[in-house]
Structure 1
Amino acid sequence: MKLQRKSGLRALAVGAAALSGALVLTACGSDNNSGSSSPSGQASNNAAGNIKCGGKGNLLASGSTAQKNAMDVWVKNYMQSCTGTQINYKATGSGAGVTEFLQGSTAFAGSDSALKPEEVAKSKSVCKGGEAIDLPMVGGPIAVGYNVPGVDNLVLDAPTLAKIFDSKITKWDAPEIKKLNPNAKLPSTSIQAFHRSDESGTTDNFTKYLKGAAPADWSYSGGKAWQAKGGQSAPQSSGVASQVKQTAGAIGYFELSYATASNIPTVKIATGAAAPVEASSDAASKAIADAKITGTGNDLALKLNYATKTDGAYPIVLVTYEIACDKGNKPETLDATKAFLSYLASDDGQKGLSGQGYAPLPAEIATKVRTAVSALS
């Protein structure tokens, strides 16, 4: 088990302001590029966007669907500048992505949860002479979307959400919901609660929130696999969002980007702060500011404070990590991996996206990530 060290992320507010506070959520296509290749291991500056290219050939990665919309833009921008590199990121879900990485099938993985100790131990067979590390790359809110005709300003709290997703509250006009929404015309419609059918870091973080903020009402241990009883399931965040969009009485959890793209209303969370908090990039940034670094060395795993009561802080957040070997990366993909991940953590990578939904890395953490990436070998 890794020894823990803690470091406050109080620089987030400044960093977020400097980086405009919001990153893109539109899923741009990853266009194929052709052209001259940069020599392996030789970096070249691209004046437009200041992207440093490195390596050549194909770079395979998979994992988190939470970061897919950002990754689509990153991949497109990078390949337009670095025409010698073909990047293929498959949004298969955090669990599948980590599994593929640990099998040696990909250069890096995207995960909405830091690696477990047993996963780090297993990575040593893939990372020859080293082990896998967690590199935070982007944060953002997990929205709770709903489809309740006639209700457009829904407020819920952690205990009520826990009961809804554990099939203990089954009607939209339940007393607990009425109490939080005294002016809403709540129907007697049955609640259709949707969760992820695949292993997911989004599920992990959502259930960590329920366990951290409503321990008396959420008795499950949590993890990437859904554990609660009842409800309905759908694969990946896009699947859950689609089901909520088309099902009257539905509620589900997914990254804010999916709610924005599909015009799905989202729940405001009553946290004990002065007012209920709506899911937004800025509100997520305020919650992530309470995070602590728990990794050691170049591992930058974070512990989030899901029970925050800070005014304006949206508590259901996740941070997406890129999982890579600190040592023992495959020689044929090392240079490209370092160059691409360096771009993601750069100022241009963090602020070079438009729209709303993701929260940029704090300046303090972005610097640490760039240092860790430069040390990959």
Structure 2
Amino acid sequence: MKLQRNGRSKALAIGAMALVSSLSLAACGSDENNNTTASGSGSAAPAAAINCGSKPSALVAAGSTAQGNAIDVWKTNFGAACSGATINYGGGGSGAGVQQFTQGKVQFAGSDSALKPAEVDASKAACTGGQGINLPLVAGLISIVYNVEGVDNLVLDGPTTAKIFDSQITKWNDPAIAALNPGAKLPDADIQAFHRSDDSGTTDNLTKYFAKTSGGAWSYPASKTWAGKGGQSANGSAGVSAQVKQVKNSISYAELSFAQTNNLKSAAIATGAAKPVEATAANAANTFAKAKIAGTGSDLALTLDYATKDEGSYPIVLVTYEVVCDKGNKADTLDTLKAFLTYGASDAGQKAIGEKGYVPLPKELTDKVNAVIPTLA
């Protein structure tokens, strides 16, 4: 998420504690329900809390599975409040979502990585007179999820995790893992690592973390496409989570919401701080407190510090962007698109997904998003 276009990055000054004061890390539904309309299950927000716009229509979108549970919450609440408006979110991963967006097949795409320059250029064909921009709406963290009998409080660091996912470390009782977990009863068992089979922004953010923290153990460029050696693959956040839940001595990576849904354990990360950092929304909020805007104009792409050593700052985080046209949106769906994005960026929308394991974005950032949405044309 580092679409750097100039040096005008500026810190997002926020109070991390304020972000999480209302969080309840409850479990929620999986992204296997993404191909539904806005009339899904869940508690609906009061109609008065949502401005539906004047021309309700059907939106079609696709992309990130990491935000699938958030979209499920939003479309349920939005659909209950806005008669005639539906949101069909197809998931499929960030890469597929961006591709469909640049081909003009969806009104917005969810991507856990900001558009690359080539993708911005490609978007101009779909955005007549404009281009794709990144609007951050869903913040979360990537859990290193594991299923190892007898190990309840696993600690990992950047180099060790990178080596595990590249098949350089293949046993759970490897000395590198043992050194991080003194006293733990690590089994003499083969590690079964699962990675994403689809092009994934979650993979992109994980490998950005490896690039910053592995000390060269991860020799591949950060990418949405998996490049590590060995392991097995599964589709989507729900797919890898399901595999870890079923397979003994396994490990993978998934957004916190999916870890909670599947009752999976998440490793704490040794960052160089005084103690390992737990995978919690509160600790992720401490990292988002120092996020910077890297985009220009109406583009709100962010940079994040994956190598943070600050106390209580969880390093493996992601922001999911709703990728939209700044100009050239379809006239018949623009009103509903603006209304839906406005609800997602609202205090009510952010609180609703905060109760499902996501991290409410800092108000300074949602204010910027809410300033851009009315300008979409």
Task: Tell me the TM-score normalized by structure 1.
Answer: 0.93
2:11 aligned with 1:8, yes or no?
yes
Which secondary structure state, in structure 2, belongs to the residue aligned with residue 183 of structure 1? coil
Residue of structure 2 in register with 1:37 after alignment: none
2:318 aligned with 1:315, yes or no?
no
Amino acid at match of 1:118: A
Q: Residues 290 and 199 of structure 1: is their aligned pair in 2 closer, same or farther, counting only changes over 3 Å?
A: same
- The answer on whether the counterparts of 2:28 and 2:260 sit within 8 Å (CA) in structure 1 is no
2:50 aligned with 1:51, yes or no?
yes
Distance in 1 of aligned mates of 2:107 and 2:100: 10
Distance in 2 of aligned mates of 1:204 and 1:210: 10
Give 1:142 shift.
Answer: 0.3
2:156 aligned with 1:164, yes or no?
no
Cα deviations by residue, 1:43-89 (Å, 9 ceiling, x for unpaired): xxx96452001222211011110011011010000000001211111
Which secondary structure state, in structure 2, belongs to the residue aligned with residue 352 of structure 1? helix
Which secondary structure state, in structure 1, belongs to the residue aligned with residue 28 of structure 2? coil
Distance in 1 of aligned mates of 2:256 and 2:225: 21
- The answer on whether the counterparts of 1:98 and 1:110 sit within 8 Å (CA) in structure 2 is yes
Residue of structure 2 in register with 1:268 after alignment: 268
Instruction: Write out aligned runs for 1:117-266 (5 A).
Output: 117-266=117-266
Amino acid at match of 2:19: A
Amino acid at match of 1:27: G
Cα deviations by residue, 1:348-369 (Å, 9 ceiling, x for unpaired): 1111346352111111100000
Residue of structure 2 in register with 1:93 after alignment: 93
Which secondary structure state, in structure 2, belongs to the residue aligned with residue 193 of structure 1? strand
Amino acid at match of 1:327: K
Which secondary structure state, in structure 1, belongs to the residue aligned with residue 208 of structure 2? helix
Q: Which runs of 5+ in 1 are unaligned?
A: 34-45
Give 1:11 shift.
Answer: 1.2
Residue of structure 2 in register with 1:111 after alignment: 111
Give 1:187 shift.
Answer: 0.6
Distance in 2 of aligned mates of 1:109 and 1:130: 16
Q: Residues 32 and 185 of structure 1: is their aligned pair in 2 closer, same or farther, counting only changes over 3 Å?
A: closer
- The answer on whether the counterparts of 2:240 and 2:253 sit within 8 Å (CA) in structure 1 is yes
Give 1:335 shift.
Answer: 0.7
Residue of structure 2 in register with 1:42 after alignment: none
Give 1:3 shift.
Answer: 2.5
- The answer on whether the counterparts of 2:167 and 2:231 sit within 8 Å (CA) in structure 1 is yes
Q: Which runs of 5+ in 2 are unaligned?
A: 40-44
Which secondary structure state, in structure 2, belongs to the residue aligned with residue 52 of structure 1? coil
Residue of structure 2 in register with 1:40 after alignment: none
Residue of structure 1 in register with 2:42 after alignment: none
- The answer on whether the counterparts of 1:241 and 1:259 sit within 8 Å (CA) in structure 2 is yes
Which secondary structure state, in structure 1, belongs to the residue aligned with residue 51 of structure 2? strand
Instruction: Write out aligned runs for 1:21-32 (5 A).
Output: 21=23, 25-27=27-29
Distance in 2 of aligned mates of 1:32 and 1:299: 27
**Structure 1 vs Structure 2 CA RMSD:** 1.7
- The answer on whether the counterparts of 2:61 and 2:90 sit within 8 Å (CA) in structure 1 is yes
Q: Residues 333 and 24 of structure 1: is their aligned pair in 2 closer, same or farther, counting only changes over 3 Å?
A: farther
Residue of structure 2 in register with 1:43 after alignment: none
Q: Residues 167 and 9 of structure 1: is their aligned pair in 2 closer, same or farther, counting only changes over 3 Å?
A: same
Amino acid at match of 2:162: A
Distance in 1 of aligned mates of 2:328 and 2:26: 33
Cα deviations by residue, 1:132-165 (Å, 9 ceiling, x for unpaired): 0000001111000111111111111111001111
Give 1:8 shift.
Answer: 0.7
Identity in percent: 55
Distance in 1 of aligned mates of 2:295 and 2:238: 31
